[in-house]
Amino acid sequence: MGFGQGLSGLNAAAQNLDVIGNNIANSGTVGFKAGTASFADVYASSRVGLGTQVAAINQRFTIGTVSNTGNQFDMAIDGSKGMFRVMDQSGSVLYTRNGQFSPDKDGYLINAQGYRLTGYAEGGTNLVAVRVPTGNIAPSETDIVTTKLNLDANAPLAGGEVVGVTEVFGQVELVGAGGGTYNYTMSGGAFQWTTAAGVPLPPGDPGLPAAGPYTTGSAGSPVVIDATATPSTTNFGVGPNNTAYVAPVTAVPATAFDPAVAGTYTHSLPINVHDSLGNSHQLMQYFAKRPSADPTQSVWDVYYRLGGQPVDDPADGATQLTFDQGGRLVTPTAPEGFLKVTVPGSTPADALDFTIDYANSTQFGGDFTYTFGQDGFATGEYASMAIAADGSIVASYTNGETQSMGALVLVDFANVQGLQPVGGNAWAETSNSGQPILGRPGSNSMARIKGQAVEESNVDMSQELVNMIIAQRTYQANAQTIKTQDQILQTLIQMR
């Protein structure tokens, strides 16, 4: 009789309703994956089937809706591939899609079941429990200062003429054919014929003396003038032997640089640097425009004060910046190195040793503008932690610095249906699932991470309600086959 078939159908429909009911019950469970009952027919050397059976309960590992929570320790796997790797209290490894974590009393990130989240240790591939950092971040000594600026090409010279100018003006009376009185300048050992106003005369100018030789005045120092009217300075009588010598015009010495006197520099720029203990010291840069011996270049001197004290290096206390006619920096071509001595204090910090880089600085006809920075920082207290899309665990500190604390690890399996559900939104590895495949989020085909969010259950409530109606009708139909078989049996019994 067909009681067995109907009974198996009742059992199968009841189990299907159990699965549907479990899906509906977990529609609000974070990371839950809906299940589906799979059925198979039953035959035993018979042309007529013996009913049905539940072959498997499969789970749909599709991604659920990702919702923002604002909790800094929440995280969602933004894709279908990958699971969080956690360890229970006994050290057993489990896997979950529930990204609701919070720190325990020891700072380890755990879920509601107390399982610890694991990831890669910083700088390696060792798997360790993820832990919220504590304490302060170590300070960093300044290693390089970058200063990109525009110096005003129209600014006046700082402090007047520069100390040490050796240029003198004079006249000489040449005795000989075509002789006469001529004007000249001597600057840095270079001789130049000029007009009476001091304007240089180019070779071949009619104002130059004719070819010699000549004597100078009554004292008679020989002067050799070649065909281009260029004198030989080694044979040119300048000084006491030249009776027609005119005393040099004394250069007006520049006012020496003094940070307390604004007129001795053109621009100033302060920046804070840090020593090995994280203490801050103010570095002042003073820019002074200077005259240039080369008419195609502009020259600026840069003076330095650290905590109000002169620096130890460079030896002359200044660095020279040279710009071409297009306002582009010519020298220095590489960062300048300095040894800065810290301001004396109660703590034995190392002497500051860093470089200053003026790359891409300019001298245009415009206002003094600048951008600058330095790579040192003071210590800071832990403030918060964030998970990047690639799984990087980044700690933030009160000094504005961040520090990498490692990275999350995600796990996938060749056969996720072979995983064993163990409750608590977790699965365990089995021989059917295969070995775990590890990787960082966003690599090795793993999904990426979305911080401060969770993945909701992938239960489709409307589909489950429809499935429940179908399961109910299936149950009723199987019950009806049992009832029909009962009526047939009653008919047989009543036949006499």
Residues in a beta bridge with 428: 420
Q: Is the pTM of this model over 0.75?
A: no
DSSP 342: P
CA distances from 339 to 61, 285, 311 (A): 62, 15, 7
Give the single-character DSSP code of 246. P
Domain 144-161+254-374 carries which CATH code? Answer: 2.60.98.20
Length of the chain: 496
Choose among 108, 89, 109, 91: nearest CA to 100. 109
Q: What is the pLDDT of residue 334?
A: 75
Residue 352, exposed/middle/buried by CB under 10 A (0-12, 13-18, 19+)? buried
Residue 138: φ, ψ to 5°: -65, 140
d(CA 154, CA 160) in angstroms, rounded, equals: 15
Rounded CA separation 240/272 (Å): 56
Q: Say whether 247 sits in a helix, a strand or coil.
A: coil
Residues 6+ apart with CB under 8 A from 487: none
CATH 2.60.98.20 domain residues, the chain: 144-161+254-374
> From CA 22, how far away is CA 34, in angstroms rounded?
8
Q: Are strands 402-408 and 392-397 parallel, antiparallel or unpaired?
A: antiparallel
Please report, in tens digits, the pLDDT of each residue of the chain (496 residues total): 568 788 888 888 899 999 999 999 999 899 999 999 988 888 877 777 788 888 888 889 989 999 999 888 999 999 989 999 999 999 899 999 999 999 999 989 999 999 999 999 988 889 999 998 888 888 888 888 999 999 999 888 887 544 344 455 667 776 665 667 777 776 655 667 788 767 788 877 888 877 666 666 544 455 555 555 555 555 554 443 333 333 333 444 556 788 888 888 999 999 998 888 888 888 899 999 888 878 889 999 888 888 777 776 554 567 889 999 999 999 887 776 655 555 555 467 777 778 888 989 999 998 999 999 998 888 888 888 888 899 999 899 988 888 888 899 999 999 999 999 998 889 999 999 999 999 999 988 899 999 899 999 999 999 999 999 998 898 888 888 888 887 888 888 887 6
What is the C-alpha to C-alpha distance for residues 75 and 117, in angstroms, rounded to an integer?
11
SS (H, E, C) 123-184: CCCCEEECECCCCEECCECCCEEEEEEECCCCCCCCCCCCCCCCCEEEEEEEECCCCEEEEE
Cis bond leading into 259, ω under 30°? no
Q: What is residue 237's predicted lDDT score, i.e. its pLDDT?
A: 47
Angle between helices 3-25 and 461-494 (to 10 degrees): 160
Vertex 120: Cα angle to 439 and 444 (nearest 5): 10
Q: Are 409 and 96 in contact (CB under 8 A)?
A: no
Distance CA 409, CA 343 (A): 47
- Per-residue pLDDT at 212: 64
CB 127 within 8 A of CB 119: yes
pLDDT score for 208:
80
Query: Can you tell me the distance from the alpha carbon of 36 to that of 18, in angstroms, rounded to the nearest whole number?
Result: 10
CA distances from 470 to 21, 36, 37, 381, 382 (A): 13, 13, 13, 60, 56
Query: Looking at residue 224, what is its pLDDT?
Result: 55
Does residue 209 have a cis peptide bond before it, meaning omega lies within 30 degrees of 0?
Answer: no
Residue type, 145: V
Structure confidence at residue 200 (pLDDT)? 81
